[in-house]
Amino acid sequence: MTIAIGCDHGGYALKTILVPFLEQKGITVRDAGAHSTEIVRYPYYAAEVARAVARGEADRGILICSTGIGMSMIANKFKGIRAALCTDTYMAKMTRAHNDANILCLGGRITGDMLAMDIVETWLATPYEGGRHDISLGLIRDAETAMTNGEPWEPKGTRR
Ligand code: RB5
């Protein structure tokens, strides 16, 4: 498995912990930076990781800023990306099982190192359940396609 990882200054400390944690698991890590706590703009790093995942150059991505919020906002603008900000292991489990999230966002100033490692471990280990969740993911894809083409979008079908 290859994981693309990126951070800004607020996520740098946690990234330095997660990179060796992932490598110890035999995962290939593609580190998009940042490489210090110097103040940088998080969208640059989110774009690099989101593109790597969207193009299939990485199986999944991890993005870390101070809160994880900015990273999730920008990552979700990329076609094919389902980025999820997780602050506990239940969220990590559910966003894999139900949303098939392909990017995990973490808040380096929100989530402690040990919990972050548990979140990553759970997120990596949990498979997508498929089944009824395919319907919602299909609707997300429809919305994404329409909005990419600048078209209005209304969900089709029933709400159930
Ligand atoms: C940087 O100070 C901070 O705004 C950024 O890391 C992130 O938390 C934004 O969502």
Q: What percent of the chain has pLDDT over 70?
A: 100
Residue nearest to atom 10 of ligand 1 (CA): 70
- Distance from Cα 70 to the centre of ligand 1, integer Å: 6
For 37, 43, 47, the CA distances from 40, given in Å and listed in that order, are 8, 9, 13
Q: Would you say residue 158 has pLDDT above 90?
A: no
Point out the ligand 1 atom lying closest to the alpha carbon of residue 8.
6
62 lines ligand 1 (CB under 6 A): no
- Report pLDDT for 138: 96
Q: Would you say residue 32 has pLDDT above 90?
A: yes
What CATH code is assigned to 2-129?
Answer: 3.40.1400.10
69 lines ligand 1 (CB under 6 A): yes
Tokens 């330095």 identify what position? 16
Instruction: For residue range 66-122, list pLDDT tens digits in order.
Output: 999 999 999 999 999 999 999 999 999 999 999 999 999 999 999 999 999 999 999
Residues comprising the chain, all counted = 160
- Report pLDDT for 11: 98
Point out the ligand 1 atom lying closest to the alpha carbon of residue 69.
10
Q: Would you say residue 54 has pLDDT above 90?
A: yes
Is the model's pTM score more than 0.95? yes
Question: Could you tell me the pLDDT band of residue 156, with boundaries at 50, 70 and 90?
Answer: confident
- Report pLDDT for 157: 85
Instruction: Locate the domains of the chain by residue range.
Output: 2-129, 131-160
